[in-house]
Amino acid sequence: MDLEELKKTVAREALSFVEDDMVIGLGTGSTTSYFLKFLGERIREEELEIYGVPTSYQSRLLALEYGIPIRALDEVDAIDIAVDGADEVDPQLNLIKGRGAALTMEKIIEYRAGTFIVLVDESKLVNRLGEKMPVPVEVIPAAWRAIAEEIEVFNARAELRMAAKKDGPVITDNGNFILDVKFERIDDPLDMEIELKTIPGVVENGIFADIADIVLVGTPQGVRKLER
Ligand SMILES: O=C[C@H](O)[C@H](O)[C@H](O)COP(=O)(O)O
């Protein structure tokens, strides 16, 4: 089974958590895109009363395309579930997220969800966070260089993320820059998440420690469900 098929399989499985009258946090990325498509179809077919709270311009545009009614975070009383992808998942279900630069709104919404469900294929499972992927850190533009230097005390190298279809750096949905931080090793994800957050000028970082409730893992043999 190819990667896209694995993503579709986990995205379909996530529909089993969806019930009528729910408010759902809508994640960002290629795996979640399939979930949004299937969610839109289900809302239409079963005439469900569901609202989505987008975590990015990408999920907002896809929700509009697939007919998912949307609400802003300050228009809802609570978020029942949130569904999103991840870049790495460790055995304790700590995550690295933010390859798509949407980490800040993702964390704001997923932290507040009753149940946060993560969709990955098995290539995203690691023994230790940071094994394959850098940790994206969203920073206030004026502070990028100072923060990049300060991050070196953690035995890490920070690189300013450059845009692919624009000259210069990636600008996030919030108007900030992204530093991709490659650590030598991350021993304690929660501790590192907090350390990064306390640097002045850091808006948010892509370590999501102790937030995921359920991880659905797509494998050629089917979907594995991991729970915290
Ligand atoms: O900013 C982007 C997000 O954190 C994505 O959810 C994450 O990068 C996973 O994306 P994908 O499902 O495309 O691998």
Q: What is the pLDDT of residues 37-96, one digit of tens each?
A: 999 999 999 999 999 999 999 999 999 999 999 999 999 999 999 999 999 999 999 999
Q: What is the pLDDT of residues 101-156, one digit of tens each?
A: 999 999 999 999 999 999 999 999 999 999 999 999 999 999 999 999 999 999 99
pLDDT of res. 3: 92
* Ligand 1 binding site (Cβ under 6 Å of any ligand atom): 27-31, 84-87, 97-103, 106
Annotated binding-site ranges for substrate: 28-31, 84-87, 97-100, 124
Give the domains, in start order, of the chain with CATH numbers: 3-125+210-227 (3.40.50.1360), 135-205 (3.30.70.260)
Please report the pLDDT score of residue 207 as a whole number.
98
Q: What is the ipTM of this complex?
A: 0.98
For ligand 1, what atom is nearest to the CA of residue 33? 12
Give the nearest ligand 1 atom to 28 CA: 6
- 106: annotated active-site residue: yes
Cα–Cα distance for residue pair 83/223, rounded to 1 Å: 15
- Is the pLDDT at 1 greater than 90, yes or no? no
CA 29–ligand 1 middle distance (angstroms): 4
Q: Which of the residues 4, 13, 46, 106 is marked catalytic?
A: 106
Can you tell me which residue has the tokens 């932290």? 111
Residue with CA nearest ligand 1 atom 6 = 85
Span of 1-10, 16-25, 27-36, 56-65 with lowest mean pLDDT: 1-10
The confidence score (pLDDT) of residue 228 equals 87
Q: How far apart are CA 153 and CA 147, in angstroms?
A: 11
169, 159 Cβ separation under 8 angstroms:
no
Each residue's pLDDT tens digit, 190-210:
999 999 999 999 999 999 999
In terms of pTM, does the model score above 0.95? yes
- 224 pLDDT band (50/70/90 cuts)? very high
**225 CB-side CA count, 13 A:** 10
Residue nearest to atom 7 of ligand 1 (CA): 86
Q: How far is the CA of 98 from the centre of ligand 1 (A)?
A: 6
E-strand ranges in the chain read: 23-26, 51-54, 79-85, 88-89, 95-96, 113-121, 135-139, 156-160, 177-183, 202-205, 207-208, 214-219, 222-227
Atom number of ligand 1 nearest to Cα 32 = 12
Q: Report whether 130 contacts 89 (CB < 8 A).
A: no
Ligand 1 centroid, distance to 117 Cα (angstroms): 13
Q: What is the Cα 20 distance to its own chain's centre?
A: 24
The residue whose C-alpha atom lies closest to atom 5 belonging to ligand 1 is 29
